[in-house]
């Protein structure tokens, strides 16, 4: 089957590009002809161009963008044409048998992207392709208003619906009456064999730090953790409070290597947690004040690791003294993986 993937592949975000790669890889191993539809809306371009323009960070941003661009070019099988709007998208990819929308926060209409119609319609509402959502998420969206009627109509046209978390499931059910299947993020479906790239001069043992939202409480937790482990704290991809060193200009390949080879991870990232669960890496999550971390809570709950979330530095020692039973989590993960691959098999039969 000829399948197009429509997702957030063009974001310079580790989780975004790696979940895209994982979906592509899994489908190709299942025997399908797969391409990533190179949809890059103007709203996304403007958003990412806001970052790294100051002289102090421009070179780091440029280095990082080059590595992300190289990964997309070499690892993702992009469509022949790049599309910046819905009109351009509708005029191409007419040979596809199915379009898979997701994973990631493709239904988060409260983000800077707003209501981005292709993530509900596919390449065109008139095109007769099979429309499937895989592990789609509403992110921080709490209501589909003022687009609820239009979104309802489009959700009803999906041949198969799946989401990544319980909040997304509840919102979709409320919007259209259909109950979508809850599935795993696609990073759990691929082994990423041959994708990693070693990082020179990385310490033999280190604690990795991956922080998406900066706060004083996060830095305090990092300081407490590295004091207990007596290991250097290496920040991955972004500047993290409490880290001894920052590998800021790394790309997806190096990020994977650093995560897999770490002794421990302190994070507040959904995909950071996913790779810890996947690779049985000891970790804890710092709950950030005033932020909604339901996506994290959901995936941890599903594999029995909710206790890995801490409220602040006072809880670091007890969290690190509590061993993680990855045997139990792996058993639950295996069942969830079977459910997820079963959904895709049925949707593409």
* Alpha-carbon separation of residue 320 from 230, 251, 309 (angstroms): 13, 29, 11
Which backbone phi and psi does 203 adopt, to 5 degrees? Answer: -55, 150
What's the rounded Cα separation, in Å, for the pair 294 and 137? 11
How does strand 2-6 pair with strand 33-39? parallel
Burial of 244 (0-12, 13-18, 19+ CB in 10 A): middle
Do 2-190 and 207-331 agree at the fold level?
Answer: yes
What's the rounded Cα separation, in Å, for the pair 282 and 141? 31
What is the residue extent of each domain of the chain? 2-190, 207-331
What's the rounded Cα separation, in Å, for the pair 313 and 337? 34
Which residues lie closer than 8 Å to 51 by C-beta, 6 or more apart? 57, 61
Task: Among 51-60, 212-221, 274-283, name the one with the lowest average pLDDT.
Answer: 51-60
185-211 b/e with 16+ CB inside 10 Å = b?
bbbbbbebeebbbebeebeeebbbbbb
Q: Residue 202, Cα to own-chain centre: how many angstroms? A: 25
Q: Is the pLDDT of residue 90 over 90?
A: no
What CATH class is the domain 207-331? alpha beta
For domain 2-190, which architecture applies?
Answer: 3-Layer(aba) Sandwich (3.40)
Q: What value, to the nearest 5°, has the Cα angle with vertex 168 and ends 165 and 171? A: 150
Token reading at 310: 């801490």
What's the rounded Cα separation, in Å, for the pair 167 and 173? 10
CA-based nearest residue to 210, from 301, 272, 154? 272
- Give the three-class secondary structure for 21: helix
52 — pLDDT class (breaks 50, 70, 90): low
214 — pLDDT class (breaks 50, 70, 90): confident
What's the rounded Cα separation, in Å, for the pair 128 and 126? 6
Kindly state the greatest CA–CA separation across the chain: 60
Q: Is the pLDDT of residue 164 over 90?
A: yes
CA dihedral for 155, 156, 162, 168, sign (positive or negative): positive
What pLDDT score was predicted for residue 291? 75
What's the rounded Cα separation, in Å, for the pair 319 and 73? 41
Task: Give the residue-averaged pLDDT of 240-252.
Answer: 93
Q: What value, to the nearest 5°, has the Cα angle with vertex 130 and ends 169 and 152? A: 40
Task: Give the residue-averaged pLDDT of 212-216.
Answer: 85
CA-based nearest residue to 299, from 271, 326, 323, 280? 271
The better pLDDT of the pair 140, 156 is held by: 156
Q: Is the pLDDT of residue 173 over 80?
A: yes
User: Is the overall model pTM greater than 0.85, yes or no?
Assistant: yes
- Give the three-class secondary structure for 237: coil
Task: Give the residue-averaged pLDDT of 327-341.
Answer: 97
């Amino acid at each position: 089957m000829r399948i197009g993937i429509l997702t957030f592949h063009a974001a310079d975000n580790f989780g975004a590009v790696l979940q895209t790669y994982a979906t592509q890889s899994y489908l190709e191993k299942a025997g399908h002809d797969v391409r990533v539809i190179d949809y890059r809306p103007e709203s996304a371009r403007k958003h990412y161009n806001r970052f790294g323009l100051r002289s102090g960070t421009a070179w780091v941003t440029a280095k990082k963008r080059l590595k992300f661009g190289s990964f997309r070019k070499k690892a993702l099988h992009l469509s022949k044409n790049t599309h910046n709007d819905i009109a351009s998208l509708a005029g191409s990819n007419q040979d596809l048998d199915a379009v898979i929308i997701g994973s990631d926060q493709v239904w988060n209409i409260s983000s800077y992207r707003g209501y981005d119609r292709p993530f509900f319609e596919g390449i065109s509402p008139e095109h007769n392709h099979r429309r499937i959502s895989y592990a789609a998420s509403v992110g921080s969206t709490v209501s589909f208003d003022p687009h609820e009627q239009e979104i309802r109509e489009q959700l009803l046209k999906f041949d198969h619906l799946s989401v990544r978390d319980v909040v997304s499931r509840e919102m979709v059910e409320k919007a259209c009456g259909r109950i979508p299947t809850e599935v795993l993020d696609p990073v759990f479906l691929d082994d990423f064999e041959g994708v990693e790239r070693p990082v020179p001069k990385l310490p033999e043992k280190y604690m990795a730090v991956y922080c998406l939202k900066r706060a004083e409480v996060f830095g305090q937790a990092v300081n407490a953790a590295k004091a207990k482990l007596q290991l250097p704290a290496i920040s991955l991809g972004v500047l993290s409070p409490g880290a001894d060193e920052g590998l800021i200009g790394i790309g997806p390949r190096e990020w994977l290597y650093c995560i897999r080879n770490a002794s421990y991870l302190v994070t507040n990232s959904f995909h950071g947690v996913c790779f810890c669960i996947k690779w049985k890496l000891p970790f804890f999550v710092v709950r950030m004040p005033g932020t909604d971390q339901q996506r994290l809570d959901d995936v941890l709950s599903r594999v029995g690791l909710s206790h890995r979330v801490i409220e602040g530095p006072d809880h670091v020692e007890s969290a690190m003294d509590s061993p993680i039973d990855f045997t139990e989590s792996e058993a639950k993960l295996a069942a969830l993986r079977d459910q997820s691959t079963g959904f895709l098999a049925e949707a593409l039969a």
